[in-house]
């Protein structure tokens, strides 16, 4: 008689764990920051690449910035643009003028570890310190939110 219970090996569990971590990382976490005025939400947001492209009278209502960890497998520029358009709708903008797409390195916390080595004498303490610093590359897109005045 065969048992329907399945026993998973530690190796299989580790593999599944890393697959899940990779899937989350590839999806990326887009961060959006907004500074400016808010109005009732809109349903349509026009996308411009330059202020001179806007042919209707408008007023600037704010600035938006979105960033995501730069992962080679992710389509980060499209993700950023989609999140910024969603933020523009939420803030009541009729249009967004996209700025440049930049990559920058973000330096995180440092960690120093002391590794002790045994010397000939019990009183002497020898060892070495190693310091590691986390850093990530981030893709950033900026935009100006506008509201039509006509």
Name the residue range of residue 94's domain: 30-116+127-148
Residue-wise pLDDT tens digits, 84-117: 999 999 999 999 999 987 776 655 666 777 667 6
Q: Domain for residue 10, yes or no?
A: no
- pLDDT value of residue 88: 97
The answer to whether residue 105 sits within a structural domain is yes
Residue 143 lies in a domain: yes
Strands (E), the chain: 31-36, 46-48, 58-69, 95-118, 125-148
In a domain, 21, yes or no: no
Q: Is the dihedral of CA 102, 97, 47, 43 positive or negative?
A: positive
Pick the residue with more confidence: 13 or 43?
A: 43
- Quick check: is 85 in a domain? yes
Domain count, the chain: 1
- Tell me if 96 sits within 8 A of 146, measured CB to CB: yes
Residue-wise pLDDT tens digits, 54-79: 999 999 999 999 887 766 545 677 88
Query: Which residues make beta-bridge pairs with 112?
Result: 131
| 87: its two tokens | 């933020």
- Lowest pLDDT segment from 15-24, 31-40, 133-142: 15-24
Tell how far CA 126 is from the center of its chain: 42
- Is residue 137 included in any domain, yes or no? yes
CA distance 60 to 74: 31
Q: What CATH number is attached to the domain comprising 36? A: 3.30.110
Residue 14 vs residue 17, higher pLDDT: 14
Among 3-12, 59-68, 119-128, name the most confident range.
Answer: 59-68
């Amino acid at each position: 008689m065969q048992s329907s219970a399945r026993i998973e090996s530690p190796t299989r569990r580790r593999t599944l764990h890393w697959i899940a971590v990779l899937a989350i990382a590839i999806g990326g976490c887009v961060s959006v920051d907004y500074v400016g005025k808010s109005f009732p939400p809109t349903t349509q947001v026009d996308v411009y690449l330059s202020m001179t492209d806007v042919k209707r009278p408008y007023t600037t209502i704010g600035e938006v910035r979105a960033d995501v960890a730069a992962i080679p497998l992710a389509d980060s520029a499209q993700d950023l643009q989609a999140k910024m358009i969603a933020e523009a709708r939420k803030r009541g903008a009729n249009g967004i003028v996209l700025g440049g797409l930049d990559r920058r390195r973000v330096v995180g916390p440092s960690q120093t570890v002391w590794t002790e080595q045994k010397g000939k004498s019990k009183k002497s303490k020898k060892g070495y310190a190693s310091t590691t610093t986390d850093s990530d590359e981030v893709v950033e897109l900026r935009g100006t939110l506008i509201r039509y005045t006509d």
